A and B are shown apart, each in its own frame.
Chain A
Amino acid sequence: MSHSPALTVERPSAAPPPMRHGSSTKRKQNIAAYLFVLPFFVVFVAMLVVPLVYSGYLSLFESKLIGGDAFAGLANYVRALQDSAFLASIGRMGLFFVIQVPIMLGLALFLALALDTGRARGSKGVRLLVFMPYAVPAVVATLMWGYLYGPDFGPIAQVARAVGFGTPDFLSPVNILGSMMNIVTWEFVGYNMIIMYAALRSIPGELYEAAEIDGAGQFRIAWSVKIPAIRPAILLTVIFSIIGTFQLFAEPSLLNAIAPDAITNSFTPNYYAYNLAFINQELNYAAAIAFLLGLFIAIVSYIVQLSSQRRERRERSAS
């Protein structure tokens, strides 16, 4: 009977007690649980753990013209950390992250809060229409915006010419990063808005009823009740944005076709790894780049999570 506590804790008193709490029942349940998680973890190991380990293994080798692959230790990593193209791509994505993510998440939060107040007409329509770009593949979104930016039949250029501003060049080397930020913002505001909105809807009303009775305005309530209450959801969107930003691929690779001067083969780290592996045939070096990129993303996500937890703890102890 030594195994019964776990079972009785889980079970509310409503159901009649089972005949026997014997360890054989417990063992049967354990086996069932393992069988339930087994299929997922088989694929998990095969498609996630093995490639990860393999990538780490490959990155330690160097392919020589004569004699095939030779163990190189950390040489690929040393090379990557001195590779100005790789570092520039990380820096470019850092800039992208610092500018685009606050705009995207700010807009998403504004929309979610505005919809949650229920003071606008047709909120349901707004919600669906803003979310719609999420169902558009990045390839199609980039193609579409590429045409919209285009100098020939792009409507933005048509309007600008009609007003007398001349033809704006969204695809020049200076402007391309901003143009890409706009594409990604367009794609993902709706997705982030839905996550935040869903979290807002599940705040218990009692939390801000008191504030409303005290006469606090909607801005006050949003700032000091609603936003703190959905902090976990916001953190989730930040983490997803970190991952998404540093592995941008479809956008640069498609913009490259229409703006080859502006998009270098190392515009984003992921695009660089792809070009190294499949154009330059430098598989080992590409594996090191991919591994470093993954490590970098994991560390940044971890720091963001940690600082958010610390801040929460500090605020809790202050109040």
Chain B
Amino acid sequence: MTALDTRAAVTIGDTTGSRRAKRNFDPKKRRSVLLTVLLWLCVLYFVLPLWWLLVSATKDNSGLFSTFGLWFGGGFSFFENLQTLFTVRDGIFARWLVNTLVYSLASAVGATLLATMAGYAFAKYEFPGKKALFSATLGAIMIPLTALALPTYLLFSEAGLTDTPWAVIVPSLVTPFGVYLMRVYAADAVDDSLIEAARVDGAGEFRIFWQVGLRLLGPGLVTVFLFSLVATWNNYFLPLIMLNTSDLYPITVGLAQLQAAASAGGGSQALFSTVITGSFVSILPLIIAFLFLQRYWQSGLSTGSVKG
């Protein structure tokens, strides 16, 4: 009765894979048609809206109103839509895309680095105050970050830093959950004897971290990186209050503004199809990143949730 999909187990980290490998063969194992049908029905719910988005991005404004939403029709205007999207308001959409890329990459790299160093230290060192600092980090997971956005805005405004990229990047550098995840991950992934051996060889603590630690923390790094990337990429509240200049907007704030203009009916006719095409273009990079890096983030998460 071993109910295991070996192919699924392979994509997960080696630790779980080997633990289960010995139970792979089982003559009584069978597929369930009912379960397959049920699962794929669920998948429809998650995929159909995205399918609609894809289909609608190929229609012009009149096609949107006159044809059935879930199938192509009324001509193929995807490239016209793209052209409109990237030329509307002097090509500001490309600017938003670049802003989002810069903000989220900078935040994700910074947040991952900070979380990795802290998590590694929590996992591999004993130092006075460790317990208190880690408890503070854990407690901070429960602080709703958007409740902090307002006072953060006021502090930035007093420092004259609102309406700059820093106002979006710096607050996104704190990921208490990332520190927690890296601690759990580093505790297993970095062997103490390796650190000890490097010390005997005379390596300094920082060299050990860069050359031994980081190399072993790969999947954990990718996990924290991807999740902080998504957090900044998808953030709407923080840039909305921090930024005033359209040129500095990330794509979320920009799209919301385009949408407001479209539903107010002002300006050009083509706005609905522009908003839809813009939405479609804006989700492609993240979906591609998740698909390509799935091997890493799935195994990284599995470690984090064991002791969650």
| A→B interface (CB under 8 Å) | 6-7, 10-12, 14-16, 18-19, 28-30, 32-37, 39-41, 43-44, 46-48, 50-52, 54-55, 58, 107, 111, 114-140, 143-145, 147-148, 152-155, 158, 186, 189-190, 194-196, 198-199, 201-202, 204-205, 209, 212-213, 215, 218, 230, 232-233, 235-236, 239, 243, 246-247, 249-250, 253-254, 257-258, 270, 273-274, 277-278, 283, 286-287, 290-291, 293-294, 297-298, 301-302
Contact = CB atoms under 8 A, between A and B. Distances in A.
Contacts of A121: 31, 36
B125 A33 contact: yes
Contacts of A190: 46
A254 B11 contact: no
B42 A111 contact: yes
B85 to A, nearest CB: 14
The 7 A-B pairs of least Cβ separation, nearest first, read: A118-B5, A155-B69, A32-B205, A36-B121, A33-B125, A198-B302, A137-B234
A15 B197 CA distance: 6
10 contacts: A15-B197, A41-B133, A114-B38, A119-B3, A120-B40, A139-B234, A148-B69, A249-B146, A270-B146, A293-B144
A247 B46 contact: no
Contact of B307 (A43, A232, A290): A232
Given A10-B126, A119-B31, A270-B146, A155 B1 contact: no
Contacts of B65: 152-153
B36 A270 contact: no
B52 A138 contact: no
Contacts of B4: 118
Interface stretch (B15-23, B76-84, B87-95): B15-23
A283 B122 CA distance: 38
Contacts of A209: 23
B216 interface: no
Contact of B125 (A30, A153, A243, A290): A30
Given A126-B40, A218-B3, A277-B150, A143 B279 contact: yes
Contacts of A294: 143-144, 147-148
Nearest to B304: A198
A291 B35 CA distance: 46
Counting contact residues on chain B (CB < 8 A from A), the size range is: 35 or more
B72 to A, nearest CB: 13
Given A202-B302, A212-B1, A249 B46 contact: no
B31 A120 contact: yes
Given A30-B128, A286-B150, A120 B36 contact: yes
Contacts, number: 337
B308 interface: yes
A37 B125 CA distance: 11
A30 B127 contact: yes
Interface string B249-286: 00111011001100100000000000110010011001
A131 B252 CA distance: 20
A123 B146 contact: no
B170 A47 contact: yes
A153 B64 contact: yes
Nearest to B125: A33
B69 A18 contact: no
Question: What DSSP secondary structure best describes chain A's contact surface?
Answer: helix
Contacts of B152: 47, 51
A123 B5 CA distance: 8
Contacts of A131: 290
A118 B23 CA distance: 13
B206 to A, nearest CB: 7
A140 B294 CA distance: 22
Contact of A44 (B36, B38, B137, B298): B137
Nearest to A136: B283
B279 A144 contact: yes
Nearest to B288: A135
Given A32-B125, A239-B142, 13 more contacts: A19-B200, A30-B127, A36-B121, A43-B173, A54-B155, A58-B154, A118-B6, A124-B5, A129-B47, A132-B50, A134-B230, A144-B52, A148-B49
Contact of B43 (A12, A118, A126, A230): A126
Interface string B183-215: 000000000110011011000111001000000
